[in-house]
């Protein structure tokens, strides 16, 4: 009975706001119940002081496998025996990624589940599925609390690191409550929402009212914070986007003492974490560069690993602990563009950020969780020999089990690659226009109008090569299979089996001891 009372008390303390006589959100209740079952199986390992959630946007199992091989091959190894940093974490589970209205979903609905413990619709942020897509009036009745908001209210420091815009779906789900993920600035609001002053996502970030405000926000998306009549500091030919003529970067600095706004590598490197309480870093008008293109950025951009390290240095000054979310967001963009090289190198950089975190935190006080919001229809197939170039054409083994002298051929007599996509811009003969999200991505090798392209003289490891796709789309879709959850540190043993995606929130909250602390205070 004590366990039952504990569950019931926590549901009413932490679940979304309830009308009189209304039952707790069923998704929230099911997530809490799943954690109770996991707690019975998991050994006690203390309470986490800090929690760090890594989200590889679009990082499905095939992406992890191919990135593991690529990283090993970049070191001159065969690659298959390599291990990404987070694969060494001791606990592993699978997460189901569907949302309440879609079998294959987007980042907004899936990240809201991880951030709030409540499954919801695709395309919405920080709200339950009682929301109506695009209806600002429905937000008040469907708003859900997030782990970042709760961390702030408990006196912890909080941070967000991403290489997408900081107002993009994954980071925004931690602090924003919006009926549409695209409302990143005031120009993108519905007319009705703009008329009544509903805050866009960038405004919600700067005006965040929980605790003493988010301590660290690092990523891209500077245009969403600058007025339309203001010049971008890095690219003066560009202006901001905001119609309300507000400069939210200045408002950030004015709001917080000992605060800083930086937009290039030099400013970032010069920043003293010991003298900075609130840091906003926006390193590009839109998304930050892909990792392999980062060295060519005009103003210079820090890597995901560097941003993660700086965030930990600032956040770890709080003796009460911290919550940090780090997103490798451009894995998703590489896959949407059908460009495996960029997707895989982004995955490797996310692994580097996890390794950096392991070096800068104590395993007995920091819970590290590495997962994905969804996958992509990215395939690794054929019968390539051991150590075959993961980006190359399939070289099979000969009848003796040794590497063949020439690539394998299809029924048309043409070679094919190990990596490919179920759908996307790599369909032979499809338009070679630049896919959405593929900033600075070279155009693909032009296919043919009938049959497969002839790859015999094509370098499929070239950075501009786009892998073949079976179904022609301007940009690839997401995939719907389960994604992995890797975990280490206090409470990590809760992550086992096949779980609903919103379980991640509940397990992190359990590891931090908030369930028990909340109940004891009653």
- Neighbouring C-beta atoms of residue 90, cutoff 10 Å: 12
Give the H/E segment covering residue 217: strand 216-220
Helix-strand-coil percent breakdown of the chain, rounded to 5?
35, 15, 50
Beta sheet of 378-380, edge-to-edge order? 378-380, 419-424, 469-472
Q: Give the contacts of 425 (CB within 8 A, at least 6 positions apart).
A: 337, 338, 431, 432, 433, 435, 444, 466, 469, 472, 473, 474, 475, 476
- Neighbouring C-beta atoms of residue 182, cutoff 10 Å: 16
- The reply to whether 107 belongs to the active site is yes
Q: Computed from CA positions of residues 354, 360, 362, 367, in that sequence, does the dihedral angle turn out positive or negative?
A: negative
- Cα(171)–Cα(370) distance, integer angstroms: 15
Catalytic: which of 107, 116, 157, 375?
107
Token code pair at residue 174? 């931690």
- Cα(59)–Cα(204) distance, integer angstroms: 28
What does residue 296 show for φ and ψ, rounded to 5 degrees?
-90, 5
- Kindly write down the DSSP assignment for every residue of 59-79, as one continuous string: --HHHHHHHHHHHHHHTTS-S
- Cα(494)–Cα(482) distance, integer angstroms: 18
Dihedral angle over CA of 3, 146, 506, 19, nearest 10: 40
Which SS3 state, helix, strand or coil, does residue 325 take? Answer: strand
- Cα(318)–Cα(321) distance, integer angstroms: 6
Burial 103-123 (b: 16+ CB within 10 A, else e): ebbbbbbbbbbbbbbbbbbbb
Crossing angle of helices 26-41 and 503-511, in 10° steps, is 50
- Neighbouring C-beta atoms of residue 470, cutoff 10 Å: 14
Helices (H), 128-230: 139-142, 147-153, 169-172, 191-195, 201-206
Give the H/E segment covering residue 112: helix 107-116
Q: Give the contacts of 324 (CB within 8 A, at least 6 positions apart).
A: 50, 51, 52, 53, 158, 159, 160, 161, 216, 308, 311, 312, 315
- Cα(41)–Cα(205) distance, integer angstroms: 38
Instruction: Please identify every residue annotated as catalytic.
Output: 107
């Amino acid at each position: 009975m004590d366990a039952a009372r504990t569950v019931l008390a926590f549901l009413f303390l932490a679940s979304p706001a309830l009308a009189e006589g209304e039952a707790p959100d069923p998704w929230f209740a099911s997530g809490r119940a799943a954690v109770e079952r996991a707690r019975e199986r998991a050994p006690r390992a203390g309470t986490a002081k800090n929690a760090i959630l890594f989200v590889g946007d679009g990082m499905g199992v095939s992406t992890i496998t191919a990135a593991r091989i690529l990283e090993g091959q970049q070191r001159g190894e065969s690659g298959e025996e390599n291990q990404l940093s987070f694969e060494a974490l001791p606990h592993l589970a699978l997460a189901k990624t569907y949302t309440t209205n879609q079998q294959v979903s987007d980042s907004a609905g899936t990240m809201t589940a991880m951030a709030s413990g409540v499954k919801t619709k695709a395309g919405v942020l920080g709200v339950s599925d009682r929301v109506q897509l695009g209806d600002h009036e429905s937000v008040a009745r469907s708003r859900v609390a997030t782990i970042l908001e709760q961390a702030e209210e408990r006196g912890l420091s909080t941070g967000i690191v991403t290489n997408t815009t900081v107002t993009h779906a994954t980071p925004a789900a931690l602090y924003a409550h919006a009926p549409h993920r695209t409302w990143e600035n005031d120009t993108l609001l519905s007319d009705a929402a703009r008329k009544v002053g509903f805050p866009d996502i960038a405004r919600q970030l700067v005006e965040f009212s929980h605790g003493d405000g988010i301590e660290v926000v690092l990523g891209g998306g500077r245009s969403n914070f600058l007025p339309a009549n203001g010049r971008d500091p890095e690219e003066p030919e560009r202006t901001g986007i905001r119609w309300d003529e507000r400069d939210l970067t200045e408002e950030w600095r004015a709001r917080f003492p000992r605060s800083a706004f930086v937009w290039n590598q030099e400013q970032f490197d010069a920043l003293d974490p010991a003298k900075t309480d609130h840091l906003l870093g926006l390193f590009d008008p839109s998304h930050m560069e892909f990792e392999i293109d980062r060295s060519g950025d005009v103003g210079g951009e820090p890597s995901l690993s560097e941003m993660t390290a700086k965030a930990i240095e600032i956040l770890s000054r709080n003796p009460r602990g911290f919550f940090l979310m780090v997103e490798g967001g451009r894995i998703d963009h590489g896959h949407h563009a059908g460009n495996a090289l960029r997707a895989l190198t982004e995955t490797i950089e996310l692994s580097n950020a996890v390794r950096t975190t392991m070096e800068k935190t104590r395993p007995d006080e920091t819970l590290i969780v590495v997962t994905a919001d969804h996958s992509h229809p990215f395939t690794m197939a054929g019968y390539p020999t051991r150590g075959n170039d993961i980006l190359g054409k399939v070289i099979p083994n000969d009848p003796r089990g040794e590497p063949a002298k020439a690539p394998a051929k299809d029924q048309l007599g043409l070679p094919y690659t190990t990596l490919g996509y179920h759908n996307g811009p790599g369909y032979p003969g499809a338009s070679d226009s630049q896919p959405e999200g593929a900033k600075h991505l070279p155009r693909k090798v032009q296919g043919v109008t009938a049959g497969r392209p002839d790859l015999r003289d094509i370098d499929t490891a070239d950075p501009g090569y786009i892998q073949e796709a079976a179904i022609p789309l301007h940009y690839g879709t997401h995939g719907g299979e389960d994604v992995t959850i890797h975990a280490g540190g206090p409470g990590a043993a809760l992550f086992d089996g096949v779980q609903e995606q919103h379980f991640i929130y509940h397990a992190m909250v359990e590891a931090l001891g908030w369930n028990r602390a909340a109940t004891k205070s009653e």
